[in-house]
Structure 1
Amino acid sequence: MNPLLQDFNTAPFSKIESHHYQPAIENAIELAKAEIDAIVSNSEKPTFENTTVALDFAGEKLNRITSIFFNLNAAETNDEIQKIAQKVSPLLSEFRNDITLNEGLFTRVKAVFESKDSLQLSPEQTMLLEKQYKGFARNGANLSEENKIKLRKIDAELSKLSLQFGENVLAETNAFEMHILDEKELAGLPESAKEAAQEIAKEKGKEGFVFTLDFPSYIPFVTYVENRELRKKMAIAAGKKGFQNNEFNNENIVLNIVKLRHERANLLGYKSHAHFVLEERMAETPEKVMEFSNELLQKAKPAALREFNNLAQFAKKLDGIEQLEKWDGAYYAEKLKKELFDLDQEQLKPYFQLENVIEGVFTIAEKLYDLQFIEVFNIDKYHQDVKTYEVFDTQNNFISIFYADFHPRKGKRNGAWMTSYKSQFIQNQINERPHVSIVCNFTKPTATKPSLLTFNEVTTLFHEFGHALHGMLANTTYTSLSGTSVSWDFVELPSQIFENWCYEPEALALFAKHYKTGETIPMKYIEKIKESASFHEGMQTLRQLSFGILDMKWHSENPSEITSIKDFELAAFKDTKLYPDVAENCMSTSFSHIFQGGYSAGYYSYKWAEVLDADAFEYFLEKGIFNKEVATKFKENILSKGGTQKPMELYKRFRGKEPKPDALLKRAGLLKNH
């Protein structure tokens, strides 16, 4: 019996074995094809119900199975799962093409689309129909037979390349370790980070301390270790992932990906991959994105240069450093921050015990959106670290299932993300509620201490939880418009706005309590957190913009002449560069967001959404951060609406006007002209 092919409500993790995946996916593809055939062969004339709606609900089983598989490939993978991913990814991209290139199906969709003015559809129905029609047109439905075949080949190739890219980055991350026997070499490193490194060493059957490129191990190392040579070794190792002369080198993969994306866009009648992608985003064109980036760059650069020079002088005064290098940045910034604000990440950590922060996030969600989270132990999970919750509103209506997975493991990729195992939708008058998950990589508890978070980790948890709220509070009819299925430069608004509560005394008082004494975080620390929030904001902004610009350069120009990734990258970074270049490092070869995740021609959207979130949070600040009226407007116009209307319309309905970058510049301290 294949558990994936039985009917299930929550994912039956404990019953699934790796060998179940491929047959289940193949079987579900056949099922979905049969559903599509039924739509195509329907003898009645195409209507909104028998075509548009039927197509939106087709393939539900396949979606459930693939979401389980790919979520685990990111959070709990192994060699076997990775091999299966290599096999099923081309099958799935082939299946997607079978749909978009199915002429009979497109003819029906087009017929409904062309009669839309006479159908009296609601805004949500109109959106579904337009999205569907464009989905076909933008993926080759209007191409000649010969070009359709070309498109299929490109898509199959691209899906393999991006998987390979990600596997190489993971392999490089896992391959490096810094093994240190003499504790003296770790001068400056906090006890908690040493303890964590001892645990890693123990797990690997070694004496002493082991550090890896996983963030909870890497970040404290480059931030605190006094030994400059060791910091250099660590930073160079992190920067050369995918850029070494070995089997995991990603240089050709990157060039192949950008060339294929460009070729695909041209085939579909677009000037570049970025023109293709942005047509469906709030930003609309690469020109608009570059204009937006350059406007922020102009405002941020003077501040960034000033901050960089201050940091360089500080390092020189302190340790006689003649030239500030990349492996010095975090180290001296932390020291300078401590001197300026008398604030040390380590002082704050005791106030951020993971369990308390989770409680805090839940309480804030309750105050704003009337949600209650109840931990349950009868829901199947894929690893014992995962926590499971049922979510209700204050009227006891069931809202969602919520999974949370907080600590690093060998089979888990770096970073933090939100995902879902089941979308929300309404069918046969039943509102099917979503199953939402967040995955993070926070410091593990040790023998003597619970998991204590850095303030950065706190904001990460709030960020991912903001995405989760967008998924949980979804309330739309159609799957493809539900929850986080919104335009990519809008999707970061719910996550980024939620981070703002981390900086507010009223919110911190709810959960920032010392793990030993229970004492609430002192006001002076809160003031310092707020003051230091815009510390080095100019440099941070430049860094974010540099990634967005690099992404745009890769995807808005013809890449056929590019031979050296490194040279191309240096040229893209010229206006945002602060540190000297490191010859053996390269950003693009491990830039997973754009070569493995879905952020190609979309990295700018982090900054774009920051403009939205600063503007939106200003509304909360005017009325009170727990103001019910503003929270309800945000919930009803943004969190519950998914992609049912154009983002700017939803935003204006919430805010009463379009956003301006002023709130962001003010928050970042970049409006001051001194």
Structure 2
Amino acid sequence: MSSNPLLVSTDHPLFAQIEPEHVLPAVESALAANRRAIDELLKDAIPRTWERFVEPLTALDEKLDRVWTPVRHLNAVANSKELRAAYNACLPKLSAYHTELGHNVRLYEAWKSLAEGPQFRALNTAQRKVVLDTLRDFRLSGVALPPEQKKRFAEIQEALSKLQSTFEENLLDATHAWHLDFDDEKALEGLPPSGLALARQAAEEAGKPGAYRITLDFPSYYGVMCHCRDQALREKVYTAYVTRASDQGPQAGQWDNSAVMHDILRLRLEAAQLLGYANFAQESLATKMADSPEQVIDFLSDLANKGKLAAERDLSDLRTFAAQELGLDELHAWDMAYTSERLSEHRFALEQEALKPYFPVDSVLQGLFTLTEKLFDVRIAQGPEVETWHKDIRFYEIRDPDGTLRAQFYLDLYARQHKRGGAWMDECVSRHHYADTMRYPIAFLTCNSTPPLGEQPALFTHDEVITLFHEFGHGLHHMLTRIDYPAVSGINGVEWDAVELPSQFMENWCWTREALDLFARHYETGETLPEAMLEALLASRDFQAGMQMLRQIEFSLFDMRLHQEYDPALPTDIQALLNDVRDTVAVVKPPAFNRFQHSFTHIFGGGYAAGYYSYKWAEVLSADAFARFEEDGLFNPATGHAFLHSILERGGSQPAAELFREFRGREPSVDALLRHHGIAA
């Protein structure tokens, strides 16, 4: 088994050597070894201490992570039929193992004895948080359930693990199964040169040189929606995109997530009720800042009320412009992005396409790194040679001013086949200092930005720049932590509705002249962003902010209400519930065939179930945090150090509300968020 690269003890996975046939044997080996070690640990009747109990358990977690983390990552960024089969074969085994741990009464009692013994008082704040969080998670794992209910709970967790993976696979397959090919670029009139080059490159990669291919990968889809003049083409591409993995559209019934969603919701409800909660929404909030579904719904409804007037004004402006300037008497869903782009160009004399030459990849990265160095007094540089999963991957390290290593990260920037859509940060290694050993944080930072085209470097839209800054904010939270215990270092142990604070905080810099001056430079001339374009870009920040806010609130309310109200006995009509939410808050209603929910991976595949509201909740925190920089001076070193110390370095070692109050000196206020979006409080 020593030839298995997944069983080599290294913090930098041997990506170039990992094959699908390595996965199952490595996972089975790690699980068996961990089970034996836990049994041995629990035979020991001595008083439980941090060093002799928590540290050995942490080492076992890390041993399993070394095996599974690279597999999970490869499944998202380099998916193949063989890897998917190996990945799915392991899901029930991992689910069973984690459920076993959560139901291990002897393990639970051992943690309790540590919490109730004299050792607990000697622990520091972060260590005590680890113990208390672990006991809470035991209760949420059903440790106190009677045997038959425990058995059922375990079955549910295993089934959910498979179903959530199936949801994502269906979406991935549906996304990559559809395309449109054209022999003549005239059919794509309006698509800018970069969009045409992307379409030409996609066709070449598919073995059709000289043709143009439109796909449902987001850069391709979005380019058509914003720029193609052919309304019928926009309708066709929009319909394919919003009906992926559903019962509607050109692939109706293929990879359909309809039944998968109901199964997920039914099982989540059953598991929550086994634990004594009325619904899954209540269970979800046990690990969040918000106290109840009602509090979340009130928070969202209040924001919706504050933003509704602005959203209605945005839509009225759009309709007027569409009728007067574009001859569109009726504004269809597939006209929205196209018309918005034209209105933005008209109002601000700014074309997003014209901005792209000023956001070349290397300049944007250098600006992001320079900003981070100025704010948080660290140094970022290219790291040593490591194995990666694709030729485009970059590897960097972060050091303190004295040269001490702080963290490292892999950067995977571009959209491509066999890679999951969206953008995310994931942990490769969490900070862990024990005895004489230090494991430094390593992050995976993943985007799906427009790739380089031919000899030209990758040129980003401003939205793609914002996405990169957002994910890097998550990365900084993970990488700059000073907490030495993985369970509460970095993003671990942070309440889910506060975890977006650093990421959304970083987005704000993309809207400041001072930060843009660091990186907005023309890729051919080195010229900075012309003053007129800069003014127009900054003025465009508030553009359709009301509509965008209500859209996020719509998704958040749908998520929370779905998990609060779902009843398999009726059963709940998911589409009807979404329509009801839209009737309450939305100013834009999509067509009846739209199946947004079938691709809502955040709540059906990812970790945002009954937690999508976290984006808005954390945006209040991030806007208010950034307001202190506006008050003190954007690059004030004392303010940067305060944010680093109170938020980034402390991870999940204390409640997020305490850390925010420490940084801001008061409770959070919604005023900064409304001001940043041009929506009066």
TM-score of the aligned structures, taking structure 2 as reference length: 0.96
Please say if 1:450 is aligned against 2:457: yes
Aligned equivalent of 1:341: 348
1:488 match: 496
The alignment status of 1:596 with 2:605, answered yes or no, reads yes
Report SS of the residue matched to 1:406. strand
- What's 1:554 paired with? 562
| Structure-1 residue corresponding to 2:43 | 41
Give how far 1:431 is off: 2.9
Conserved 8 A contact 1:243-1:585: no
1:192-244 alpha-carbon deviations (Å, 9 max, x no partner): 10111011111112242111111111111100111111101111111101113
Identity of aligned residues (%): 38
What is the alpha-carbon distance in structure 2 between the residues aligned to residue 565 and residue 262 of structure 1? 15
Q: Which runs of 5+ in 2 are unaligned?
A: none
Q: Does 1:531 align with 2:531?
A: no
Shift of 1:420: 1.8
- How far, CA to CA, are the matches of 1:155 and 1:473 in structure 2? 33
Residue identity opposite 1:332 in structure 2: T
Tell me which residue corresponds to 1:99. 101
Provide the alpha-carbon RMSD of the alignment. 1.5
1:182-201: CA deviations, max 9, x gaps? 32221211111011101111
The equivalent of 2:234 in structure 1 is 231
- Are 1:651 and 2:639 an aligned pair? no
Q: Does 1:246 align with 2:248?
A: no
Structure 1 residues 612 and 580 mapped into 2: Cα distance closer, same or farther (>3 Å)? Answer: closer
Match of 1:320 in 2: 327
Please list, as runs of the form range in 1=range in 2, the aligned pairs for 1:20-419 lying within 5 A after superposition.
Answer: 20-115=22-117, 119-206=121-208, 207-244=210-247, 245-376=252-383, 378-419=385-426
Q: What are the superposed Cα offsets for residues 509-564 of structure 1, whole Å, 9 maximum, x if unpaired?
A: 11111111111112222222211101100000010001101111211123212354
- Return the alpha-carbon distance in structure 1 between the equivalents of residues 322 and 364 of structure 2: 35
Q: Which range moved further: 211-220 or 173-182?
A: 173-182
CA contact (8 A) 1:304 1:536 kept: yes
Q: Which moved more, 1:465-474 or 1:57-66?
A: 57-66
Return the alpha-carbon distance in structure 1 between the equivalents of residues 7 and 454 of structure 2. 42
Partner of 2:631: 622
2:620 to 611, 628, 646: 611
Query: 1:28–1:59: 8 Å Cα contact kept in structure 2?
Result: no
Distance in 1 of aligned mates of 2:428 and 2:487: 14
Give the Cα–Cα distance (whole angstroms) in 1 for the partners of residues 566 and 510 of structure 2. 43
Using the alignment, how far apart are the partners of 2:229 and 2:546 within structure 1? 26
Q: Is the 8 A contact 2:450 2:458 kept in 1?
A: yes
1: distance between equivalents of 2:144 and 2:51? 23
Number of the residue aligned with 1:464: 471
User: C-alpha separation between the residues in 2 aligned to 1:116 and 1:634?
Assistant: 34
The superposition leaves residues 34-55 of structure 1 with CA deviations (integer Å, 9 ceiling, x where unpaired) of 2321221112133344334443
Shift of 1:91: 0.6
Looking at structure 1, the residues matched to 566 and 461 of structure 2 have their Cα atoms a distance apart, in angstroms, of: 42
Deviation at 1:426, TM superposition (A): 1.1
Q: Does 1:497 align with 2:500?
A: no
Q: Could you report, residue by residue, the CA deviation over 1:611-639 in whole angstroms, capped at 9, with x for unpaired residues? A: 01110001011111111101111111111
| Partner residue in 2 for 1:668 | 677
User: What residue number does 2:580 align with?
Assistant: 571
2:651 partner SS: coil
Q: Is the 8 A contact 2:562 2:574 kept in 1?
A: no
Residues 626-657 of structure 1, C-alpha deviation per residue, up to 9 Å, x if partnerless?
11101111111111111000000011111111
Partners of 1:379 and 1:488 lie apart in 2 by 32
CA apart distance, 1:116: 6.7
Aligned length: 672
3-state SS of the aligned residue for 1:574?
A: helix
AA partner of residue 564 (structure 2):
S
How far apart, CA to CA, are the structure 2 residues paired with 1:608 and 1:564? Answer: 27
Looking at structure 2, the residues matched to 428 and 396 of structure 1 have their Cα atoms a distance apart, in angstroms, of 22
Deviations 1:331-382 (A, max 9, x none): 1111111111111101111100011101111111111112222214521111
User: Is 1:57–1:479's contact at 8 Å kept on the other side of the alignment?
Assistant: no
Residues 197 and 453 in structure 2, CA contact (< 8 A), matched pair in contact too: yes
Output the CA distance in 1 between the equivalents of 2:583 and 2:567. 18
User: Is the Cα contact below 8 Å between 1:165 and 1:253 reproduced in 2?
Assistant: yes
**Cα distance, 1:24 vs. partner?**
0.7
Report if the CA contact (8 A) 2:521-2:527 is conserved.
yes
CA distance in 2, matches of 1:499, 1:667: 12
Answer whether contact 1:505 1:523 (CA < 8 A) is retained: no
For residues 517 and 277 of structure 1, what CA distance do their matches in structure 2 show? 52
Whether contact under 8 Å (1:425, 1:477) holds in the other structure is yes
154-163 or 386-395, which deviates more: 386-395
**Is contact 2:23–2:87 with CA below 8 Å preserved after alignment?**
no
The SS at the match of 2:639 is helix
Question: How far does residue 323 in structure 1 lie from its aligned partner after superposition?
Answer: 2.0
| SS of residue matched to 1:582 | coil
Give the stretch that moved more between structures: 59-68 or 33-42: 33-42
Cα contact 2:582–2:589 (8 A) shared by 1: no
Cα distance between partner residues in 2 of 1:138 and 1:444: 43
In structure 1, the partner of 2:548 is 540
In the TM superposition, what whole-angstrom CA distance separates every residue of 1:403-427 from its partner, at most 9, and x where no partner exists? 1011112110111111121111111
Alpha-carbon displacement from aligned partner over 1:429-462 (angstroms, at most 9, x marks no partner)? 4332011121111111112521110000011111
2:521 paired residue number: 513
Per the alignment, in what secondary structure is the counterpart of residue 438 of structure 2?
strand
Hey, what's the Cα distance between the residues in 1 that align with 2:477 and 2:423? 16
1:69 Cα deviation from its structure 2 partner: 0.7
* Equivalent position SS for 1:363: helix
CA distance in 2, matches of 1:460, 1:466: 10
Structure 1 CA distance, aligned partners of 2:119 and 2:432?
A: 25
